[in-house]
Homo-oligomer: A and B are copies of this chain.
Amino acid sequence: MTLELPPIRDRNLFNHALTHRSYLNEHHEATQHNERLEFLGDAVLGFLVGELLYKKYPEMSEAQLTRLRSKLVDETQLGKLGQQLGLGKLMRLGRGAQKDKGRENPSLLNDTFEAIIGAYFLDAGIDAVRAYIQPIFIRLAEQIVTTQSKTTKSTFVDSKNQLQQWALAHQGENPVYQIIAEVGPPHAKEFTAQVSIKGVVYGQGKGHRKQEAQKQAAEAALKQLDA
């Protein structure tokens, strides 16, 4: 996919979005770096990508939408977009930052991409930014969703971790695991684990080891949350 920069009409605003803090020390005619625009662009992107996913994936749970959005707007992803848009060459950097491979730095490319989005929002309004970013992020979302469904096993591995994140964010407490049953002879025991959050049971799971039973319980809880 060939990406094109958004058509920002205000040339000063465009340059402002390209200006890194390191450029100011060496160029006294430049008075503002792009960090405030980066803040604005980050807010705009978070909203528009969230809105897009909400509408495109009516079957996804809040937890799934949150995970997918994080992947779409993380530094690696936005840095890559910045690079594909040719921001590496355009960024206004100080000499130190240039020597330090600043033009290939994902963090700088991410920041500059966000600043460009902030500038385009000021220049043309939210509907123009929506129209610009939609095809880009729909495509990226589809790629991630397809890859994920091929590798569901890997998401299973950290299901306890995922459940903990959800529990802390939404209930302010850690999940509590209990072994509620233990059957069979010593060499072939089967454990049943139960996970609860704030006293409410969210899932149960079985396994030949306690850890495995707990993982299955976490998995069951996540499935229920995604329902």
Q: Which residues of A contact B (CB under 8 A)?
A: 35-36, 38-40, 42-44, 46-51, 54, 60-62, 65-66, 69, 96, 100, 107, 111, 126, 170-172, 198, 200
Contact = CB atoms under 8 A, between A and B. Distances in A.
The oligomer's copy count stands at 2
Nearest to A111: B170
Given A47-B43, A200-B96, A107 B35 contact: no
Contact of A62 (B36, B47, B62): B36
Nearest to A100: B198
If over half of A's interface residues share one DSSP class (helix, strand or loop), that class is named, otherwise mixed; here it is helix
A159 B158 CA distance: 35
Contacts of A198: 100
Contact of A35 (B42, B46, B62, B200): B62
A54 B111 CA distance: 16
B36 A61 contact: yes
18 contacts: A35-B62, A36-B61, A36-B62, A38-B62, A39-B62, A39-B66, A42-B50, A43-B46, A43-B50, A44-B47, A44-B51, A46-B46, A46-B47, A47-B47, A47-B48, A100-B198, A107-B172, A126-B126
A63 to B, nearest CB: 8
